[in-house]
Amino acid sequence: MEISWHQNPLRTTVCLTEQEKELFRLQVIVAELEENIGTAAFHLDTTERNKTYFDPEEAFQYLGYAVEADVGDREYNLYLSELESGSHMGDCTCFPASCVKCHAESILGIDTIDGLGKHSAHKIYGSFSRDDATTIHDVIERLSDYEPVRSGAWLNMPEEAFNQHVPRWKAEAQRALTWLTSYRDRHFPLAAEPANPY
Ligand SMILES: [Zn+2]
């Protein structure tokens, strides 16, 4: 497995050998089987806690998915493409959806944004989205100098409403800065100053 660390940590990619791809394909099938069989079991649960969801027809449908000949095929192709070229987007970056890339990485047993909280990831996402030429060094500089600007919909709301969020946003930017600086030092270290010969 070869991990290509990207300057934007949300876009780090993974390249698998043919043998690793086959193992990953089987891991995806196992995950799909667990998901479908687990959901079927949930709909057959008659205990007090889950009895309102009791629905044998629904359970039968999920068991049907589990025994389809191509179970996991679609997911394998989707997850592999996320590993090879996708970008983190979803719960991990504060967007209301599950992140396919996070899911693919968890099946593979890796986490390329380990320790990065969702609010920090959101700040990093925003800082890199301004233009394609943005480097990790630009983003570190922006985050070091982070000052929220009241604009857009905030202009229709009282200034105090905006101001009360400022300390939290600044703290989030500081956490993003700390994480990204450590990521840069690991994967994109700045060139050391040449030693003075005199
Ligand atoms: Zn993610």
Same domain for 88 and 145?
no
pTM: 0.86
Same domain for 91 and 144?
no
Is 170 a member of any domain? Answer: yes
Is 113 a member of any domain? Answer: no
- How confident is the model over 77-90, as a mean pLDDT? 97
Instruction: Give the mean pLDDT of the chain.
Output: 93
- Band (pLDDT 50/70/90 cuts) for residue 193 is low
Q: By the 8 A CB rule, do 127 and 134 touch?
A: yes
118-140 burial code (b ≥16 CB/10 A, e <16):
bbbbbbbbebbeeeeeeebeebb
In angstroms, what is the span from residue 10 Cα to ligand 1's centroid? Answer: 7
Same domain for 9 and 39?
yes
Please write the tens of the pLDDT for every residue from 10-55: 999 999 999 999 999 999 999 999 999 999 999 999 999 999 999 9
In angstroms, what is the span from residue 93 Cα to ligand 1's centroid? Answer: 7
pLDDT of residue 160: 92
The total domain count for the chain is: 2
Is 63 a member of any domain? Answer: yes
Please write the tens of the pLDDT for every residue from 92-144: 999 999 999 999 999 999 999 999 999 999 999 999 987 778 999 999 999 99
Is 194 a member of any domain? Answer: no
In angstroms, what is the span from residue 103 Cα to ligand 1's centroid? Answer: 7
Indicate the residue among 56, 77, 108 that finishes a domain. Answer: 108
pLDDT of residue 189: 86
Asked whether residue 71 carries a pLDDT value surpassing 90, the answer given is yes
Same domain for 102 and 122?
no
Please write the tens of the pLDDT for every residue from 167-181: 999 999 999 999 999
Same domain for 104 and 143?
no
Same domain for 87 and 132?
no
Asked whether residue 195 carries a pLDDT value surpassing 70, the answer given is no
In angstroms, what is the span from residue 120 Cα to ligand 1's centroid? Answer: 12
Q: By the 8 A CB rule, do 76 and 21 touch?
A: no
- Band (pLDDT 50/70/90 cuts) for residue 191 is confident
In angstroms, what is the span from residue 86 Cα to ligand 1's centroid? Answer: 10
Range(s) of the domain holding residue 183: 118-187
Indicate the residue among 82, 108, 134 that finishes a domain. Answer: 108
Same domain for 22 and 98?
yes
Provide the percentage of residues in the chain whose pLDDT is more than 70. 96
Indicate the residue among 88, 108, 128 that finishes a domain. Answer: 108
pLDDT of residue 197: 64
34-62 burial code (b ≥16 CB/10 A, e <16):
eebbebbeebbeeeeeeeeeeeeeebeeb
| Residues, beta carbon < 5 Å, ion ligand 1 | 88, 92, 99, 101-102
In angstroms, what is the span from residue 19 Cα to ligand 1's centroid? Answer: 25
Same domain for 80 and 101?
yes
Same domain for 19 and 64?
yes
- How confident is the model over 137-155, as a mean pLDDT? 92
pLDDT of residue 198: 65
Same domain for 164 and 93?
no
pLDDT of residue 194: 65
